[in-house]
Amino acid sequence: MPPRLFVAFANAAAVAGLAALVAACQSPAPAKGPDRSALSTMERVALGANSCWFKSGDPAFAAYRLAPELNSFSGRPRILVVHKASPEARPLLVVQAEGSPAKMQAFGPMMSEPVAGRIAADVTRWSGGNRACS
């Protein structure tokens, strides 16, 4: 083997060995879960509520409609549940998130009714990325 070719081959082998060593020392990237920002979290909750509570014809929500307010300048995207016949009236349920990771809140008259436990469970499930209905 000519001397220059031998040196080039040796250098290439050293670089390849070094790359393999560095790759072996690196820890695997953590599994990427759902985005935990307030907006992304509330988008998941809004999709779940729309699908599971309203589009499904759920009798517990038949008299109401969803009013999402995700484009919030206050940094608190939210969804509202309002009377179907008077959507301009005070909301019966407000679900909002703030920060990253999102801190969730649900409040309003519906949180004092028997459906409150289900609302809390659904919102928790959807905010975590699970799309299932209850």
Domain ranges of the chain: 38-127
The pLDDT value recorded for residue 58 is 96
pLDDT, one tens digit per residue, over 57-98 is 999 999 999 999 999 788 899 999 999 999 999 999 999 999
The pLDDT value recorded for residue 23 is 44
Identify the residue with better confidence: 1 or 22.
Answer: 1
Q: Over the range 83-119, which residues count as b (16 or more CB within 10 Å of their CB) and which as e?
A: eeeeeeeebbbbbbbbeeebebebebebbeeebeeeb
CA distance 8 to 90: 77
pLDDT, one tens digit per residue, over 15-47 is 444 344 334 444 444 456 678 999 999 999 999
